[in-house]
Amino acid sequence: MKKIRITVMRITQYADLMAQYENPIEHTCNMRLGQTFIVENCAKPDGMCDSAWETLLPFVRELTEGRGNFFDGWMQNPYSAMLSCNDGFRPVSFYVEVVE
């Protein structure tokens, strides 16, 4: 299995949507810009958000097995993907790539 690096590339917030639709919550996301995670044997890395991991996992699984080229040439590096978590109020964008 190939080793995968996940890098936090962008953290966004949509304050207008949060104010209009979201119930106040105390704690949201722990991700930090530039933060990296290494995935070995398709195991969720320590500190990775559960919800984000669910979104990334199908792509991580494909990459660990040596596959890639998602959506027929979407990425310049065919063994990578730019993905976002499914939080519609504060999406985090992750660059997922094979490193080994």
Q: What is the pLDDT of residues 35-80, one digit of tens each?
A: 999 999 999 999 999 999 999 999 999 999 999 999 998 999 999 9
Q: Are 29 and 69 in contact (CB under 8 A)?
A: no
pLDDT at 29 over 90: no
DSSP line for 20-89: HHPPP-S------TT-EEEESTTPPPTT--HHHHHHHHHHHHHHHTT---TTTT-SSSTTEEEEE-S-SS
Cα separation, 38 vs 63, in Å, equals 13
This prediction's pTM: 0.92
User: H/E element holding 15?
Assistant: helix 15-21
Q: Side-chain half-sphere of 76: how many Cα atoms within 13 Å?
A: 1
Strand, coil or helix: what is 16? helix
Backbone angles phi, psi at 54, to 5 degrees: -60, -35
Domain boundary assignment for the chain: 4-98
> What pLDDT score does 24 carry?
85
Backbone angles phi, psi at 34, to 5 degrees: 85, -10
**In terms of pLDDT, which residue wins out, 100 or 63?**
63
